[in-house]
């Protein structure tokens, strides 16, 4: 059985995909989320274990539901 990619990595890839689809630079996205750019970079690399509040901030900035954000994660 193949090992599944870590949830933090999968979530980070999903955030990066959606951010790029909406045309945000990492810096502008972080500003819109009221998060530090280095923190967003860590999220996208799967290095950060986010709080629910920060997950909600990301979804709100992307103007999608939490379910949509987690789709495929």
| Predicted confidence (pLDDT) per residue in 12-71, tens digit | 999 999 999 999 999 999 999 999 999 999 999 999 999 999 999 999 999 999 999 999
Exposure string over 21-52, b if 16+ CB within 10 A, otherwise e: eeebebeebbebbebeeeebbbbbebebebee
Domains of the chain (ranges plus CATH)?
Answer: 7-70 (1.10.260.40)
Q: How far apart are CA 51 and CA 15, in angstroms?
A: 15
Query: Rounded to two decimals, what is the model's pTM?
Result: 0.91
For 45-61, write each residue's pLDDT tens digit. 999 999 999 999 999 99
């Amino acid at each position: 059985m193949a090992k599944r990619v870590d949830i933090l990595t999968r979530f980070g890839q999903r955030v990066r995909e959606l951010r790029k689809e909406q045309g945000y630079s990492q810096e502008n996205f972080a500003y819109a989320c009221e998060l530090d750019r280095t923190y967003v970079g860590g999220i996208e690399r799967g290095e950060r274990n986010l709080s629910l509040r920060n997950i909600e901030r990301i979804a709100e900035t992307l103007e999608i539901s939490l379910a949509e954000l987690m789709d495929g994660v």
